[in-house]
Amino acid sequence: MILLFFLLIAIPYVIMKLMTNFESRQSTKNQRNWILMSLVQGQCWGPFLWLRLQTLHGEYPLRRRLVLITLELSYSAGSIGAFLVVGDMILHDIICHKV
State residue 98's pLDDT score.
63
Q: In this structure, how many other beta carbons lie within 10 angstroms of the beta carbon of residue 19?
A: 8
Categorize the per-residue pLDDT at 77 as very low, low, confident or very high, splitting at 50, 70 and 90.
confident
Instruction: Break the chain into its structural domains and give their ranges.
Output: 28-98
Other CB atoms within 10 Å distance of the CB of residue 72: 13
- The amino acid at 36: L
Nearest-angstrom CA–CA distance, 74 and 62: 18
Phi, psi angles (nearest 5°) of residue 45: -85, -30
pTM: 0.63
pLDDT band for position 58 (cuts 50, 70, 90): low
Percent of the chain with pLDDT over 70: 82
Closest by Cα among 21, 44, 34 to 77: 34
The span from the CA of 37 to the CA of 31, in Å, is: 10
> Residue 60's pLDDT band (boundaries 50, 70, 90)?
low
